[in-house]
Chain A
Amino acid sequence: NAGVTQTPKFQVLKTGQSMTLQCAQDMNHEYMSWYRQDPGMGLRLIHYSVGAGITDQGEVPNGYNVSRSTTEDFPLRLLSAAPSQTSVYFCASSPGPTSYEQYFGPGTRLTVT
């Protein structure tokens, strides 16, 4: 199993550009989440999904969209990038909700200039 994969590993965007961060898992997990990690702060939940076709907002959803058309994939879209979205983004999956082990992807480092 590849586990949780994320692409790209690094990305530089100009303010106003849009892009999609890809996340895929091959463990047949129902639960998937997107987090951002900023210096000095804990990971913060952006959006999450409890199954194909079901998504919900986390703590910091503004400026991001998600969809979950398949169990395997959970892409994160930045609609119009802003410097405040410079961060490291992690995707995670788990076989159940928060009392189950979480599996993290390797992260995407995004810089918005």
Chain B
Amino acid sequence: KNEVEQSPQNLTAQEGEFITINCSYSVGISALHWLQQHPGGGIVSLFMLSSGKKKHGRLIATINIQEKHSSLHITASHPRDSAVYICAVPNGGGNKLVFGAGTILRVKS
């Protein structure tokens, strides 16, 4: 079973700060997902990556397959970035994903 650890669990930042959220997993994978869950509860997919780096607006996701580690960066953070950020990795065959417990981010203005 793949184990997923996220850090930090909670993060408070000032508007404009650079933010990093980390995700480590225990078993080799084909792809890793970063998801965002807003206070209203809805979950949206931010990134799915299998190597290197992806960028979307102020969000950047990187993955190091050898070290079994991924990071999600937010540049020039804004209060609207306040959400729970979740990473997920495959866990065996079929359509099984295992999720980290999430990082609760609060950006203050």
Give A residues with C-beta under 8 Å from B. Answer: 31-33, 35, 40-45, 48-50, 56, 58-59, 88, 90, 92, 94, 97-104, 106-107, 109
Contacts and interface: CB of A to CB of B under 8 A. Distances in A.
B97 A45 contact: yes
Contacts of B50: 99
Contact of A33 (B93, B95, B100): B95
The range of chain B's interface size is 20 to 34
8 contacts: A33-B95, A43-B97, A48-B94, A58-B96, A92-B43, A97-B95, A101-B48, A102-B48
A102 B97 CA distance: 10
Contacts, number: 77
Given A50-B94, A99-B90, A104 B43 contact: yes
Interface string B80-109: 000000101111011111111110000000
B96 A45 contact: yes
Contacts of B88: 42-43, 102
B27 interface: no
A104 B44 contact: yes
Contacts of A43: 86, 88, 97, 99
B86 A42 contact: yes
Contacts of B4: 42
A109 B42 CA distance: 12
Given A99-B48, A102-B45, A104-B43, A31 B95 contact: yes
B39 to A, nearest CB: 13
Contact of A106 (B42, B48, B95, B100): B42
Contact of B95 (A40, A41, A50, A101): A50
A49 B97 CA distance: 13
A92 B97 CA distance: 11
A11 to B, nearest CB: 15
